[in-house]
């Protein structure tokens, strides 16, 4: 067996292990909702004690990460059906493996994260002419000038915007609207930061610096940021998987969806007439 890879990350970057672990655990089930062999392979190669996560993270939290992947995969696939040669930017990619699940053989894909995360990522995944890595905060807008565009553009931010203040996210949306009219953005949101921190991050024993900051009561608010921002859809995180989980989890996810605890947001930047 090859030597295990040591994990040395700080603050919010610690949380990249949570969804990775969630997808790997799901993949090992006899009837998984999601199969992510790459996530399972990465977990096997990491020198990290996942026992605290396994002990303290609820099944619903783990299912939530799987549901997010399933929902994002579907939106990305639908987008690629319309724009097969699209450029997709995976913001705050961590150890995300979406590319392996949705690649159509012609897309141009960018994985963006801070330098230490990208260096860790290089130990498991490789760049090529269609998949490129960018070392940067998504708020350092110089990276936007590096993008090659052949068709439309889709920005994907899974579990990212929570960690920033609202004004920072708003500034990013407006910058994107200036540079990429017609592009689309998908991300996940929560209506209650307090509950999210209590149910997930405190239980997983990550540092308080990693706690979430920004909650969004309703995605319609985004349209008030700039007239070019158009809400395409928002839907509860567990809406599309409830028929495939246990009765107990169906009740819990129903309540979560009813309270908009976790949901998916899909917006489009209007093209000025």
* Residue 1 included in any domain: no
pLDDT at 257: 87
Residue 159 gets the label, from left (phi > 0), alpha (psi -120 to 50) or beta, of left
pLDDT at 55: 80
pLDDT at 198: 61
pLDDT at 194: 65
* Residue 69 included in any domain: yes
Q: What is the pTM of this model?
A: 0.90
The rounded distance, in Å, linking the Cα atoms of 151 and 2 is: 41
* Residue 2 included in any domain: no
The CATH number of residue 226's host domain is 3.40.50.150
Q: Which residue range(s) make up the domain with 33?
A: 7-269
| List of the chain residues with pLDDT < 50 | 1, 201-205, 207
pLDDT at 16: 81
Both tokens of 30, joined, read 């006899």
What's the length of the chain?
Answer: 273
* Residue 204 included in any domain: yes
pLDDT at 210: 57
Cite the DSSP H helix spans in the chain: 17-27, 37-45, 51-56, 59-82, 98-102, 115-121, 166-179, 193-196, 247-258
57-112 pLDDT, tens digit per residue, is 778 888 999 999 999 999 999 999 999 999 999 999 999 999 999 999 999 999 99
* Residue 186 included in any domain: yes
Number of domains comprising the chain: 1
pLDDT at 14: 61
């Amino acid at each position: 067996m090859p030597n295990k890879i040591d994990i040395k990350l700080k603050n919010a970057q610690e949380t990249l292990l949570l969804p990775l672990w969630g997808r790997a655990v799901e993949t090992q089930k006899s009837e998984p909702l999601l199969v992510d062999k790459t996530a399972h392979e990465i977990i096997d190669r990491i020198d990290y004690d996942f026992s605290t996560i396994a002990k303290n993270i609820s099944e619903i939290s783990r299912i939530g990460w799987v549901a997010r992947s399933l929902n994002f995969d579907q939106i990305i696939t639908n987008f690629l059906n319309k724009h097969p040669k699209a450029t997709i930017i995976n913001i705050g990619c961590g150890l995300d493996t979406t590319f392996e699940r949705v690649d159509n053989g012609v897309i141009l894909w960018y994985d963006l994260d801070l330098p230490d995360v990208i260096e860790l990522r290089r130990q498991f995944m490789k760049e090529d002419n269609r998949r490129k890595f960018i070392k940067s905060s998504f708020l350092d807008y110089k990276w936007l000038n590096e993008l090659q565009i052949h068709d439309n553009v889709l920005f994907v931010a899974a579990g990212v915007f929570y960690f920033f203040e609202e004004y920072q996210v708003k500034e990013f949306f407006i910058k994107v609207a200036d540079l990429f009219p017609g592009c689309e953005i998908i991300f996940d949101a929560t209506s209650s930061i307090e509950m999210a921190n209590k149910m997930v991050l405190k239980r997983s024993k990550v540092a308080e610096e990693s706690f979430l900051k920004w909650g969004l009561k309703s995605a319609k608010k985004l349209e008030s940021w700039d007239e070019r921002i158009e809400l395409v859809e928002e839907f509860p995180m567990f809406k599309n998987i409830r028929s495939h989980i246990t009765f107990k989890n169906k009740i819990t996810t129903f309540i979560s969806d009813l309270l908009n605890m976790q949901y998916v947001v899909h917006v489009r930047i209007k093209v000025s007439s």
